[in-house]
A = this chain, B = another copy of it.
Amino acid sequence: MDAGQSQVENLEYDFSTLDSFITPNDLFYVRNHYPYPAASQEADLGSWQLQIKGKVERPYSLNLDELRDLPATTLTATLECAGNHRSFLNPPVGGLQWGQGAVSNAEWTGVPLRTLLERAGIKPSAVEIIVEGADKGEVKTTPKPAGEIHFARSLPLDHPVIADTLLVYEMNGEPLSVAHGAPLRLVVPGWYAMASVKWVQRLVVTATPFNGYYQSVDYARWVRVDGMPTRVPITDMQPKAAIARPTVDEVLPLNQPFCMRGAAWSGGATVVKVEISADGGEHWAEAQLEGEPLPYAWRLWSYEAPAFTQPGRYHLMARATDSRGKRQPMQRDADQENYMISHVIPIPVTVQ
Contact = CB atoms under 8 A, between A and B. Distances in A.
A327 B146 CA distance: 23
Interface string A201-244: 01010101111110011001010011011111000000000000
Contacts of A209: 209
Given A141-B142, A142-B337, A145-B335, A216 B228 contact: no
Interface residues of A, number: 36
Given A53-B226, A229-B212, A143 B337 contact: yes
A228 B204 contact: yes
B226 A210 contact: no
Contacts of A114: none
A149 interface: yes
Interface in A102-155: 130, 132, 141-143, 145-147, 149-150, 152
Contacts of A230: 210-212, 216
Interface in A140-181: 141-143, 145-147, 149-150, 152
A43 interface: no
A8 interface: no
Given A211-B231, A228-B152, A220 B143 contact: yes
Contact of A216 (B202, B211, B226): B211
Question: Which has the most chain B C-beta neighbours within 10 Å: A53, A208, A230?
Answer: A230
Interface in A278-299: none
A149 B228 contact: yes
A204 B149 CA distance: 35
Contacts of A220: 143
A334 interface: yes
25 contacts: A130-B226, A130-B228, A142-B337, A143-B217, A143-B231, A146-B222, A149-B228, A152-B228, A204-B225, A206-B225, A208-B225, A210-B225, A210-B228, A210-B230, A211-B211, A211-B216, A211-B230, A211-B231, A211-B232, A212-B230, A213-B229, A213-B231, A216-B216, A216-B230, A217-B231
Given A130-B228, A145-B222, A211-B230, 17 more contacts: A53-B226, A130-B225, A130-B226, A141-B142, A143-B222, A143-B231, A145-B229, A146-B222, A146-B335, A149-B228, A152-B228, A202-B226, A211-B211, A211-B216, A212-B228, A213-B231, A217-B231
